[in-house]
Structure 1
Amino acid sequence: MILADRPAEVDLLTTIVENDIECVITCGDLHKYYLRDLASVTIPKFGVYGNHCSRGYLDELGITDLHGRKGRLPNGMSVVGLEGCVRYKNEPDVLYTQEEYAAILAAYPWKVDVVVTHAPPEGVNDSSDAAHMGITALREYVDVVGPRYLLHGHTYPNPVLEQVGRTSVVYTHGMQIVML
């Protein structure tokens, strides 16, 4: 189950049980209140913060914060995460310059199956407005590393780009169930 940017319009606990969900992944811009039921869920939970997030709720809900970290999904796939979006204002939100993202991604592993991010790579479901532009270094990372999947939220693409080179792109706004 992937969650991003707005509350799911379903009961999370019921959906997890009825669909035999093995893992929950959050792609940011979700408030703790929307996710509070996940605190009682014992399946693995991973996530990143979005640009409008207050830090701290991932740990409080037992969700592994993937930003700058590598993890392993229940199916054995390796996963890394990248929080926030490109800085478009001078606020204390989760925002980074393109240069800061380049420095962060320089330390990422060169073999990974899944990338979980809030903002997409440059040229992938992004927009030309400052708040929704893609991350240049993330595009370079995806082009070189070629993870099997890239999961993101944040933008409002139409149409949605679902493939970049070897990488399947999964865009979420709300909730969706995906088989990786």
Structure 2
Amino acid sequence: MADEVDKVLYSKECLARLNPDLVVACGDLPGDYLEYIVTMASVPLVFVPGNHDPDLSPRRPEEELAAFTQPFSFDRAGRNPPGPAGCINADGRIVESAGVVIAGLGGSHAYNFGPNQYTEAQMRRRTLRLQVRDRLRRAGNRKPIDLLITHAPPLGLGDEGDLAHRGFACFHPLVRSLAPELLAHGHVHPYGQKPPAHHLANTEVVNVVGHRLLELSR
């Protein structure tokens, strides 16, 4: 889910009918909404921030030092940065939850100097750090990444022409390197239309604005 609060999800019956094993949120959703969903669904919720979300990056010096060394360590869901209570922040990290290995990159193109906005060069550096983490994981014979969650889409795959809604070109080599089964993103509102299906290499790219029920085969 992403970007739009879907009132149907406030129904306990709807959540019970969907019966998810895991919820992922791809940005620009209120924190209290995420806290409600994780409480009522009683399953893990993994999220990345969008460009309208607050800055959740660490600010204390000791946290900045830890963030600097993170590319050379294994990320676990237990080491959770700040965010909505009970939810797992996967921004710039690789986490495993409900048996699913998830990599995450929040944010959009920088267009007004707000939080969670990045130039193409800045996002490219973030993708390279994520690839380093993935290679370290694979060297340790750990499970491959199943799902990549981002706020913005890859360039040319469900994005729009204006800078604010342009996708990131650096997501293309990232997807080819991580080889997830699915990439779920938000940011681009379909306004009631069904978003077209996209593929990047062997990865299905899915716009989850509102909510979508997705299944992983592996």
Counterpart amino acid of residue 29 in structure 1: D
Count of residues in correspondence between the two structures: 176
Q: Structure 1 residue aligned with 2:159, among 122, 126, 134?
A: 126
TM-score (norm 1): 0.87
Q: By how many angstroms is 1:87 displaced? A: 0.5
Q: Does 1:175 align with 2:211?
A: yes
| Corresponding residue number in structure 2 for 1:89 | 112
Find the aligned partners of 1:5 and 1:21 in 2 and give their Cα distance: 19
Match of 1:61 among 43, 66, 85: 85
Partner of 1:43: 43
Q: 1:114 to 1:176 in 2, by over 3 A?
A: same
Query: How big is the shift at 1:126?
Result: 1.0
The corresponding residue for 2:52 is 52
Are positions 1:103 and 2:103 aligned together?
A: no
Greater strand share, structure number: 1
Distance 1:12 1:44, change over 3 A: farther
**Alignment partner of 1:34: what SS?**
helix
Q: Which residue of 2 aligns with 1:161?
A: 197
Change (3 A) 1:103 1:153: same
The letter for the 2-side match of 1:87 is A
Over the residues paired in the alignment, what is the CA RMSD in angstroms? 2.2
Structure 1 position 31, deviation (Å): 1.2
Pick one of 155, 166, 176 that aligns with 1:143: 176
Residue 36 of structure 2 corresponds to residue 14 of structure 1: no
- Contact 1:13 1:37 survives alignment (8 Å): no
Structure with greater Cα Rg? 2
Q: CA deviation at 1:58?
A: 6.5
Q: Aligned partners of 2:11, 2:208: CA distance in 1, in Å?
A: 16
C-alpha offsets along residues 41-83 of structure 1, whole Å, 9 cap, x if unaligned?
Answer: 4311100000001245973331100011111242x33211001
Q: Which runs of 5+ in 2 are unaligned?
A: 57-80, 136-143
Letter of the structure 2 residue corresponding to residue 170 of structure 1? V
Q: What is the SS of the residue equivalent to 1:107?
A: helix
CA contact (8 A) 1:12 1:37 kept: no
Task: Decide whether aligned partners of structure 1 residues 149 and 128 sit closer, same or farther in structure 2, where only a CA change above 3 A counts.
Answer: same
Q: TM-score, structure 2 length as denominator?
A: 0.73
**Mean alpha-carbon deviation: is it higher for 47-56 or for 78-87?**
47-56
The Cα offsets for residues 139-177 of structure 1, whole Å up to 9 and x where unpaired, read as 221134322110001014675233222001111111122
Taking the aligned partners of 1:134 and 1:53, their CA distance within structure 2 comes to: 18
**What percentage of aligned pairs have identical amino acids?**
28
Q: Which runs of 5+ in 1 are unaligned?
A: none
